[in-house]
Structure 1
Amino acid sequence: MSSSLTGRTVLVTGATSGIGYETARLLAESGATVLVHGRTAEEAQAATDRLIATAGVSSTLLRPLAADFAHFDEVESMAQTVVREHPRLDVLVNNAAVAAPERHTVTPDGNELAFQVNFLAHYLLTNLLEPALTTDPGGRVVNVSSSLHRSAAIQWNDPNRTRRYSRLAAYAQSQLALTVFAADPRVTAVSVHPGVCDTGLLSLYGHEGASAADGAEHVVRLCDPATEIVNGAYYDRSERVAPAAAATEERTVKRLNKLADVLVGHTA
C-alpha cells in the first residue's frame, strides 16, 4: 500500500463488516486516520476495537461514528460531528449498503429502504460534509457501486416502488442512483464496482465471490491521492470502464439531484 495515504483523513460508511471493514483496515494500515461508521455506536466501537486487536492498527488512527441511514436525522447529526471534529476530510467512501428486503419496506422518513440507505443517505451526507471535504488535489468521494446498476432504471414517478416492487430492481436502482451521483459536477467523485465479494450482499448476485479484502483493495486504490481520477469515472475493480449510459447523462444527473433534494428535505 502506498504511504501517500499517511496523514489523510477518510470517512468510510458501513465500516463494521465486509468491504467497508476491510477498506478501513487497509487505510489505517497505510497511515490514514479512519472515521469508522457503523449503524449503532456499539457496532462502530466493536469494529474499531477489532481493528486495534486483530490488525494491530493504532487507536490514534481510528474514530468510531454512528448513524442509522434509515433515519436522516441521524445522518445529519453524524455530519455535524464530522465537520466539527474533522474540519479537513480528504476522502469520503460511500460504502454502506443493504440488500433490499423481500417485502417492500419503507423507512420512517418515507422512502423505500434500499433507496434511502444505499443512495439518499449518502447523497445527504455528501452534501452536508461539503464544508469539510477538501478541494485540494487528491480530495474525493468514492462511491462503492455495483455492476447491477447496468440492469436498473430509476422509476422517476415512483422511486419508492410502491406500485411494483422487486428486491433486485430496488437494489439495482439504488446502485444506479449512486453511480449517477458520482457524475455530479458539484463533487469530485468516482464510483467503483469492487467485484462480486463474499459479503452480506452476495445473495443478490447468486454465486461465489472474492474475499471482502480483495474488493477493498480496489476501493483503497481510488482513495489514494497518487491515483489520478476523472470526475464521474466508473471503475470495474481496477479498470476504468463506461458505466450504463444513463449514469453520465447531464439531464439524468440534474433530474436525480432534484428528486434527491425533495426526498431528503434538503436544499443543496
Structure 2
Amino acid sequence: MSSATLSGRTALVTGATSGIGYETARLLAEHGATVLVHGRTAEEARTATDSLIATAGIDSAQLCAYAADFTRLEEVEQLAHRVSESHPHLDVLVNNAGTAAPERHTVTADGNEVAFQVNFLAHYLLTCLLEQALTTDPGGRVVNVSSSLHRTASISWSDPNRARSYSRLAAYAQAQMALTIFAADPRVTAVSVHPGICETALLPLYAHQGTSAAEGAAHVVRLCDPATEIVNGAYYDRDERVEPAAAATESRSIKRLNKLADLLVGHTS
C-alpha cells in the first residue's frame, strides 16, 4: 500500500486510543486518510491524537477526536450524530472497540451484559445510525474486528445476557460471533477480520504471547483499502479469506440477530 493510497478518504476507528485501534488509526493516517479517533472519554481521545501527532508525525489536520462510552448507548447515539454532522461522507467504519468480559456477570445501565454491549450492540447501533453517511462509492465499507474465538461461540437467544449461566469466555465469544454475523448484514458492505493474537489488553483471553498490535492493525488496514476487493460478509483470518463458523452466514441467524439487537438497543431498522 503506497503512502497516499487513502488520501481523500475518511475513516472512523472505534477504540482507537490503544492497541490495534491506535495502530489502525496511525496506519490509516500515514496512508493519507482523515481519521476520526474514538475513545471512551474526551481526554483519552485527545491523548491518542496528541500522541499520533507527536510520535508518529501525523498532520493534525488529518485527525479528529471523538468520545463515547460504549457502556452507555445514549453516548453511542450522540457519537453517531456528531460524526454525521461533521463528516456526512464516511468511507470506512472500523468497529474495533472491545473489552474482555469481566469475571463476574456485569450488566450495563442499559440492561445488557457488558461485553455483548461494548463489543457488539454499540457497534450495531453505531453502524445503523451511520448508514446514510457511509458512502456507497466503490471501496466504502465497514470492517468489524472480530476474533477466531467466535468459532467457540453460541448465541444464547433466550438469554443473551447469560444471566442464568455466565462464563466470561462464553460471553466474550458470543459477542464476537454476533459481530461476525453482523458483517453479513446486507444493509452495508462489511467484512470481519481476526487480526491474529496480538499483544493487547485482550491477550490473556488467547495466549501468553502474541504479535505486535501494529502487525494486527496491518491486516485491518488492508481491508480498509478500496484497492482490496471484498465480498459482503466475508471473514478474514489475518490476510486470508476463510469460512467463518457456519452459524455466521446463515440467513436465519442474520435475521434473528438483527431482531434481537434492534430490541436491545431500542432501534427500528
The two structures share one fold, judged by TM-score above 0.5: yes
Return the alpha-carbon distance in structure 1 between the equivalents of residues 95 and 207 of structure 2: 24
Determine the structure 2 residue equivalent to 1:155.
156
1:225-253: CA deviations, max 9, x gaps? 00000000000000000000000000000
| Superposition deviation, residue 131 in structure 1 | 1.5
Return the alpha-carbon distance in structure 1 between the equivalents of residues 6 and 191 of structure 2: 18
Aligned residues: 268
Determine the structure 2 residue equivalent to 1:249.
250
1:81-104: CA deviations, max 9, x gaps? 000000100000000000000000
Alignment map for 1:118-133 (pairs within 5 Å): 118-133=119-134
Determine the structure 1 residue equivalent to 2:12.
11
* Structure 1 runs (4+) greater than 6 angstroms displaced: none
Determine the structure 2 residue equivalent to 1:37.
38
| Superposition deviation, residue 266 in structure 1 | 0.5
Determine the structure 2 residue equivalent to 1:212.
213
3-state DSSP of counterpart to 1:132:
coil
**Structure 1: 5+ residue stretches without partners:** none
Determine the structure 2 residue equivalent to 1:203.
204
Determine the structure 1 residue equivalent to 2:189.
188
Return the alpha-carbon distance in structure 1 between the equivalents of residues 29 and 207 of structure 2: 32
| Superposition deviation, residue 153 in structure 1 | 0.2
Return the alpha-carbon distance in structure 2 between the equivalents of residues 74 and 210 of structure 1: 33
* 1:76 is the counterpart of 2:77: yes
3-state DSSP of counterpart to 1:36:
strand
3-state DSSP of counterpart to 2:5:
helix
Determine the structure 2 residue equivalent to 1:267.
268
* 1:94 is the counterpart of 2:95: yes
Return the alpha-carbon distance in structure 2 between the equivalents of residues 248 and 57 of structure 1: 39
Alignment map for 1:107-122 (pairs within 5 Å): 107-122=108-123
One-letter amino acid matched to 2:240 = E
**Structure 2: 5+ residue stretches without partners:** none
| Superposition deviation, residue 170 in structure 1 | 0.2
3-state DSSP of counterpart to 1:5:
coil
* 1:63 is the counterpart of 2:64: yes
Return the alpha-carbon distance in structure 1 between the equivalents of residues 32 and 263 of structure 2: 39
One-letter amino acid matched to 2:13 = V
Return the alpha-carbon distance in structure 2 between the equivalents of residues 106 and 202 of structure 1: 23
Determine the structure 1 residue equivalent to 2:172.
171
Determine the structure 1 residue equivalent to 2:50.
49
One-letter amino acid matched to 1:25 = R
Q: Percent identity?
A: 78
One-letter amino acid matched to 1:229 = I
3-state DSSP of counterpart to 2:188:
coil
| Superposition deviation, residue 187 in structure 1 | 1.1
Kindly report the root-mean-square deviation, in angstroms, between the aligned alpha carbons of the 2 structures. Answer: 0.5
